[in-house]
Amino acid sequence: MTKLGNYIAGNWITGDGDGQLLYNAVTGEAIASATTKGIDFNKALEYGRKRGNPALRKMTFHERGRMLKALAAHLLAQKEKFYSISYLTGATKADSWVDIEGGIGNLFSNASLRRKFPDLPYCTDGEPVPLSKNGNFMAHHLLVPKEGVAVHINAFNFPVWGMLEKCAVNWLAGMPAMVKPATITSYLTEAVVKEIISSGILPEGALQLICGNAGDILDHVQSQDVVTFTGSASTGLLLKSNKQILAENIPFNMEADSLNCIVLGEDVKPGMPEWDIFLKEVRKEMTVKAGQKCTAIRRIFVPENKIEDVSIALGKALSQTVIGNPLNEKVRMGSLAGQTQRTEVKERVQKLLAVSQIIYGSLDSVELIDADINKGAFISPLLLLSETPFANNEPHEIEAFGPVATIMPYKNMDEAIELSKKGKGSLCSSIVTANKTIAMQYVLGSATHHGRILILNNDCAKESTGHGSPLPMLIHGGPGRAGGGEEMGGIRGVKHYMQRVAVQGSPTSITAVTQVYQQYAKGNTDIVHPFKKYYEELNIGDQLVTDKRIITSKDIDEFAALSGDHFYAHDKKTDFTGTMFEQQVAHGYLMMSIAAGLFVDSYEKNPVLLNYGIDELRFTKPVYPDAKVYVRFTCKEKIPNDKKIIDKPEDFKKGDDIEKGIVKWLVEILDESDDPVIGIATILTMVKKKG
């Protein structure tokens, strides 16, 4: 029997003894065994901290992002190997796509996220905080990668996605990972990790894997580590109460089971497109991955006068699902991950049946193609009806982790909201409605109890990613019963693996630390115009103080004529009594244009390729004719850019291959008064690299 490998401290090792047998979920044959017996978890964690962590934390976000991209491309090229193993878990091709390509997609998505970060190992968080009257004392929040290991304890249902959605984020943040997949499907995770390690793309120590029992690993975690858990609420509670986790205040992110719901809006009737959209969504959520999704719909709330119609229509829809061996192309629903899971689902359904009845499916039989119910972990989709949802808590508390959901009636929107909250916190909820008011009522009424809410109707159904899909750019997690955790969510997720520190000091010190120019910091004024410098030659704080220029009434008149902006404040004939202004005032955009006229190095070609836009622009006081203005123009931030400027092949030669970066500039428009700032902007230019 093949024994699964554990990848520990740079070596593939098999644990001592025979280990736990793992089975093909479709045929029931034993395929491998897994054990972690004999592994020194303390040493393994120390290896991650001492070897993987320093290697990753010294890389910049952009280097880590490019590493993720290379890894994603490498794994994608190997995907067929993963699909062939994934079938053994009972997953159909479509189920496996979610797991395998969904997981790889997470790597790609986080790779692109690098562009939201500086080309540094750390970053700022939020806005600078001014702390003094004269501008000499301030603060900024900084995020630095934690010095520990991210320990991920995962559930069995997504052996690939479950690992990659978490690791993509901790690697981008600069932390190594130790992954512990649920044992029963760990053979698929092991296959992916083998490819990751042999690719050599990650620095050594960035990833360790344990296939089998977690042993005493949590007794050795330390305050710089992060633990994430995905699984059942009961295991989660046990792990989060671990003495070491509590004593060292170790961040513990929990994603637990939840009783997700869908609401059919009162406006939706048979014949409307939303009626069919609702039926399709429920059927999909019940049968994809044979209902073994943490986000799957477990509770279906329907206006009481439509219960019968919905029950019949859903039963009909479910009856069209072909069930059996996932290798058969006709099959739309495979098996559960194992016999233990099937036994558990049946036990949970029995408990639900104390307050409900089966209206579609059977606990004992199911029609299969190419499969044997006595060997594989197959189960029929089960649609239950509970007519008294306020009187009984079972449908709101018991998760049967399979193709099982319960229909329940509601009288009005208040009731639908109250019922949705009876799950005491879920990962996601959907409402199907074509009515804006109903959508708004539901979202605002129930938002406190769900991590994500989908408003589904004909406008978005074709492009909707669906009720059950967590997306890398949106947070995934939910309050209360759902674990109270949060992961992914783009930049938000990365922050879970970084330590936030408030740094106080002068603008010059804060500029040096953050590598972002802070207003009032000392600038470097040299004789070379910053536009004459290549990307590599520019330094944060390079500054130009321009000549002065007088603003005339004629300038304002001419700008009004040219732009067509004849707002009364720009017209010298206006009676200014009772207005905010004393006399004719210059257009803000005139001031910005004049500023550009002052700071642009005009007549020669230079490394600045183009003006990329404006991030922020504020006009802080009115400018009247005869004001003498000038600009302080400072290099604020540099961001590498490897995006193609031109995507048409015929234009390739014109600039696609130009190496470049984005430079942000702080533009302060000033006059000669004591309170000199008239306007402030951050503008962006694309600047050529010397190469």
Per residue, what are the HEC states of 424-472? CCEEEEEEECCCHHHHHHHHHHHHHHEEEEEEECCCCCCCCCCCCCCCC
Per residue, what are the HEC states of 153-220? ECCCCCCCHHHHHHHHHHHHHCCCEEEECCHHHHHHHHHHHHHHHHHCCCCCCCEEECCCCCCCHHHH
| Minimum CB distance to ligand NAP, residue 36 (Å) | 9
Strand partners for 485: none
Query: Is there a catalytic annotation at residue 294?
Result: yes
Query: Is there a catalytic annotation at residue 582?
Result: no
Concatenated DSSP letters of 212-253: S--TTGGGG--TT-EEEEEE-HHHHHHHHT-HHHHHTT--EE
Of residues 490 and 679, the one with the C-beta less far from ligand NAP: 490
| Minimum CB distance to ligand NAP, residue 333 (Å) | 18
How many Å apart are CA 691 and CA 687, to the nearest integer?
A: 12
**Stretch of 56-64, 110-118, 234-242, 312-320 contacting ligand NAP, by CB under 6 A:** 234-242
How many Å apart are CA 411 and CA 42, to the nearest integer?
A: 56
- Asked if 230 interacts with ligand NAP (CB under 6 A), we say yes
- Asked if 574 interacts with ligand NAP (CB under 6 A), we say no
- For residue 90, the Cα-to-chain-centroid distance in whole angstroms is 28
Which one among 154, 170, 429, 515 touches ligand NAP, defined by CB under 6 A?
154
Which one among 224, 235, 328, 574 touches ligand NAP, defined by CB under 6 A?
235
How many Å apart are CA 394 and CA 398, to the nearest integer?
A: 6
Of residues 426 and 457, the one with the C-beta less far from ligand NAP: 426
How many Å apart are CA 260 and CA 485, to the nearest integer?
A: 16
- Asked if 214 interacts with ligand NAP (CB under 6 A), we say yes
- Asked if 232 interacts with ligand NAP (CB under 6 A), we say yes
- Asked if 44 interacts with ligand NAP (CB under 6 A), we say no
Of residues 210 and 586, the one with the C-beta less far from ligand NAP: 210
Spatial contact of 99 and 192, defined as CB atoms under 8 Å apart: no
Catalytic site residue from 101, 255, 266, 487: 255
Of residues 239 and 658, the one with the C-beta less far from ligand NAP: 239
Of residues 190 and 671, the one with the C-beta less far from ligand NAP: 190
Length of the chain: 691
- Asked if 297 interacts with ligand NAP (CB under 6 A), we say no
3-state secondary structure of 383: strand
| Minimum CB distance to ligand NAP, residue 106 (Å) | 13
Helix axes 93-113, 161-173, angle to 10 degrees: 10
H or E element at residue 632: strand 628-641
Q: Which residue is nearest to ligand NAP (CB)?
A: 231
Which one among 57, 180, 422, 638 touches ligand NAP, defined by CB under 6 A?
180
DSSP conformational letter for 282: H
- Asked if 256 interacts with ligand NAP (CB under 6 A), we say yes
Of residues 156 and 531, the one with the C-beta less far from ligand NAP: 156
| Minimum CB distance to ligand NAP, residue 44 (Å) | 14
Spatial contact of 288 and 260, defined as CB atoms under 8 Å apart: no
Which one among 44, 182, 202, 300 touches ligand NAP, defined by CB under 6 A?
182
Helix axes 186-199, 79-86, angle to 10 degrees: 170
Catalytic site residue from 294, 399, 428, 637: 294
Sign of CA dihedral 51, 167, 170, 113: positive
Spatial contact of 535 and 687, defined as CB atoms under 8 Å apart: yes
User: Encoding tokens for residue 6?
Assistant: 């554990």
| Minimum CB distance to ligand NAP, residue 26 (Å) | 19
- Asked if 253 interacts with ligand NAP (CB under 6 A), we say no
| Minimum CB distance to ligand NAP, residue 239 (Å) | 6
| Minimum CB distance to ligand NAP, residue 496 (Å) | 14
Q: x/- string (CB under 6 A) for ligand NAP, residues 393-422?
A: ------x-x---------------------
- Asked if 464 interacts with ligand NAP (CB under 6 A), we say no
| Minimum CB distance to ligand NAP, residue 11 (Å) | 21
Catalytic residues: 255, 294
* Binding residues vs ligand NAP (CB under 6 A): 153-157, 180, 182-183, 213-214, 230-232, 235, 238-239, 255-257, 294, 399, 401, 427, 483
